[in-house]
Copies of this chain bind each other. A is one copy, B any other.
Amino acid sequence: MRSYLRALAFAVTAALGFAHAPTALAQVDPLASWNDGPTKQAIVAFVSKATDEASPGFVPPAERIATFDNDGTLWVEHPMYTQLAFALERVKALAPKHPEWKTKQPFKAVLDNDLKALAAAGEKGLLELVMATHAGMSTAEFETIVTDWFAKARDPRFERPYTELTYQPMVELLAFLRANGFKTYIVSGGGIEFMRPITEAAYGVPPEQVIGSSIKTRYEMRDGVPVLMRLPAIDFIDDKAGKPVGIHEFIGRRPVAAFGNSDGDRQMLEWTGAGGGTRLMMLVQHDDAAREYAYGPASGLPDTKFGTFSASLLDEAKSKGWVVIRMKSDWKKIFAFEP
């Protein structure tokens, strides 16, 4: 009789979809790559409070919106943004069709690997590179180009696909939030259509939860088939003060949690923090040159052109109770491929 009851109990729990779940869950740490300490505790405390119906800080499931910057927050942004590496490699790939680029800046700088001349071309030069490599094709064609590039491209230092350079602790955090009823969004200064082909596999974030910078598109009929053509004109820059604008436009709700790593995320965290009730704002600080990179210039770290974390951002974080994640001490592991 006892074994019959045990079998029945098993059948019922299995039918309920979580055979011996409470025990199993207690044994697996959903944030296994985080070192124990106040940073990890801040995450767990936030989620406990937000999901506890008896708590005055309870957040109804529909309002559990969490927004994540991408470059430097979810994956590596050094020695340059991945999308810039893509643009430079595309210029080289397209060069045979553009003989004029051999003598025309900023293209010449790219073809000559002349980073000094490229830097001298400034933002205007960068915009020219983006338009030459990101516009002039349909959205479907661009998706194929991006997907093919990610399959072949390798990061120069780690010699791995860029999609393997995601931060394992942040991937766990995304999953942990989703397991607790949060909807996770990416809100990046990067191109929305550059990210969408990979976010589901890399982060479990579907395309409709990706917000980013964009160029204009136009609906056209091509041989009787409708296409969206990518035009060489900026539509929206999802950075700095653009992040709250993009969040409001796409989501129409204020997030209750926001994660960034640079001055470009300041307004997203301010906007998130200005809502009432339970909140969590976090900034990743890159202070681990051995395992990843170290830059600031906050906390005396070297200055950078990609992902500036200024002293004034650190001051604001301190005064507003934003939690600074220190890669070196808070993360047991940075990449999934580490032993």
Contacts and interface: CB of A to CB of B under 8 A. Distances in A.
A252 B219 contact: no
B267 A226 contact: yes
A233 B134 CA distance: 27
Interface in A192-207: 192-193, 196, 200, 206-207
Contacts of A12: 12, 15
Given A139-B248, A252-B192, A253-B208, A226 B16 contact: no
A249 B196 CA distance: 11
Nearest to A17: B16
Contacts of A183: 208
B219 A245 contact: yes
A251 B208 contact: yes
Interface string A124-146: 00000000000000010000000
A250 interface: yes
A47 B12 CA distance: 31
A244 interface: yes
A192 B139 contact: no
Contacts of A244: 219, 226, 228
Nearest to A250: B250
Contact of A226 (B225, B235, B271): B271
B228 A248 contact: yes
B218 A249 contact: no
A235 B214 CA distance: 13
8 contacts: A207-B252, A208-B251, A210-B252, A218-B245, A219-B242, A226-B244, A228-B244, A250-B250
Given A207-B251, A219-B271, A226-B267, 13 more contacts: A62-B206, A65-B208, A192-B249, A193-B252, A207-B252, A207-B253, A208-B250, A208-B252, A208-B253, A217-B245, A219-B242, A228-B244, A228-B245
